[in-house]
């Protein structure tokens, strides 16, 4: 049987760091409120001239080196993001060209905070179907450019970044099960109001920014993440007690704690980066994965469960032997 196996990881965070204390000077908030309600202490923010593809290229370089491959080995590039540089060409083609990857399959997909889980699941299908030998899979977001910096309900939550993995076919166990879901009935709870075919001319104006009913999103997120984590384990016939690591989407520490509790996992088996990264949307899971690997916590052969939830709503989980 062919598995998809992670061969290398990398991440990139913009240089500029914005602390909760910095935000106290911008909106009516406090470090105490932000920390206790969300767990966030600081976040990285793109420079005005820094784009999502800039971050992707840096994260990808690290992952390529970590995997010990050459750019010419890569035959598949996929990016989960809702903040591409351009409407077209798709951001994966920009990255393919900038890295000097030979012409290959390159596309992006949009699933809000679940973007990386959707991209990794798609890659797994391509690898298992045969033909794809070396994939560059990225989750990245320049989400702070969509935020209204006068809206304390949202501006304290988000941060920018990119996480990348190299995935290759292997006879040894790698990705074991993937579960994706979406339900558009929840659109009004979390959305960005303009796009390529709707009111594009209003983008960048004061009325247009991320719109979220935070506490309603919270409730659905907790329930759905518990279910999708269980679905990945059940499909693989693996008991939650066998899990070594949970790598959750980093939206809110209280959501992370609730999911860990439902899985019966102590928090020291959960990779948590929300305090340093904030909610980086599609970048949060691959960056947390990279953090856990590089600081030596996640070891080869261990059982890892990734999960995410975001606008749409979309949700997903990936269970793998690292
Ligand atoms: O990643 C994609 C999915 N997104 C999520 O998963 C986000 C899910 N939601 C959340 O994480 C939480 O709902 C938030 C962190 C967004 C908000 O926390 P909450 O405990 O649900 O607070 P709330 O929205 O119910 O607001 C409570 C109070 C309100 O004041 P009143 O009406 O009680 O007087 C808000 O106006 O807190 C106020 N508030 C703030 N106060 C200080 C809202 N934002 C702030 C702030 N600083 N930044």
pLDDT for position 207: 83
pLDDT tens-digit map of 240-280: 999 999 999 999 999 999 999 999 999 999 999 999 999 99
Q: Say what the pTM is.
A: 0.98
pLDDT for position 205: 85
CA-nearest of 160, 106, 197 to 280 is: 160
pLDDT for position 206: 80
pLDDT for position 204: 83
Angle at 51 between CA 285 and CA 65, to 5 degrees: 55
- How far is 155 from 178, CA to CA, in rounded Å? 32
CA-nearest of 144, 214, 141, 159 to 42 is: 159
pLDDT for position 240: 93
Which ligand 1 atom lies nearest to the CA of residue 23? 48
84 lines ligand 1 (CB under 6 A): no
pLDDT tens-digit map of 49-75: 999 999 999 999 999 999 999 999 999
Pocket test of ligand 1: the residue of 18, 23, 32, 37 to mutate, having most ligand atoms within 8 Å of its CB, is 37
Secondary structure (DSSP) of 136-178: EEEEEE-GGGGS-TT-HHHHTTB--EEEEEEEEEESS--EEEE
Which residue, judged by its Cα, is nearest atom 27 of ligand 1?
215
23 lines ligand 1 (CB under 6 A): no
- How far is 23 from 212, CA to CA, in rounded Å? 19
155 lines ligand 1 (CB under 6 A): no
Using 70 as the pLDDT threshold, list the residues of the chain that sit under it.
Answer: none
Pocket test of ligand 1: the residue of 153, 182, 189, 254 to mutate, having most ligand atoms within 8 Å of its CB, is 153
Q: Reduced to 3 states, what is the DSSP secondary structure of residue 77?
A: strand
- How far is 283 from 229, CA to CA, in rounded Å? 19
29 lines ligand 1 (CB under 6 A): yes
């Amino acid at each position: 049987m062919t598995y998809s196996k992670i061969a290398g990881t990398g991440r990139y965070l913009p240089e500029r760091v914005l602390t909760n204390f910095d935000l106290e000077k911008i909106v009516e908030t406090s470090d105490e409120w932000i920390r206790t309600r969300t767990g966030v202490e600081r976040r990285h923010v793109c420079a005005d001239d820094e784009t999502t593809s800039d971050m992707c290229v840096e994260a990808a370089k690290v992952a390529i080196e970590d995997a010990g491959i050459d750019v010419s080995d890569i035959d598949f590039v996929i990016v989960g993001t809702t903040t591409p540089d351009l409407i077209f060409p798709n951001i994966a083609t920009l990255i393919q060209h900038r890295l000097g990857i030979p012409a290959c399959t390159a596309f992006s997909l949009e699933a809000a905070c679940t973007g990386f889980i959707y991209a990794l699941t798609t890659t797994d299908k391509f690898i298992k179907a045969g033909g794809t030998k070396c994939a560059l899979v990225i989750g990245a977001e320049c989400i702070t450019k969509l935020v209204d910096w006068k809206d304390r309900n949202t501006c304290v939550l988000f941060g920018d970044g990119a996480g990348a993995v190299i995935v290759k076919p292997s006879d040894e166990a790698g990705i074991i099960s993937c579960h994706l879901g979406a339900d558009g009935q929840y659109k009004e709870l979390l959305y960005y109001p303009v796009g390529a075919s709707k009111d594009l001319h209003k983008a960048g104006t004061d009325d247009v920014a991320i719109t979220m009913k935070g506490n309603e999103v919270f409730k659905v997120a907790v329930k759905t993440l518990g279910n999708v984590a269980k679905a990945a384990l059940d499909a693989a016939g693996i008991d939650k007690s066998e899990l070594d690591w949970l790598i959750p989407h980093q939206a809110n520490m209280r959501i992370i704690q609730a999911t860990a509790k439902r899985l019966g996992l102590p928090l020291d088996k959960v990779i948590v980066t929300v305090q340093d990264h904030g909610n980086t949307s599609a970048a949060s899971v691959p960056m947390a994965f990279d953090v856990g690997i590089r600081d030596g916590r996640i070891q080869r052969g261990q059982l890892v469960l990734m999960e995410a939830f975001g606008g749409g709503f979309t949700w997903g989980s990936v269970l793998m032997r690292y």
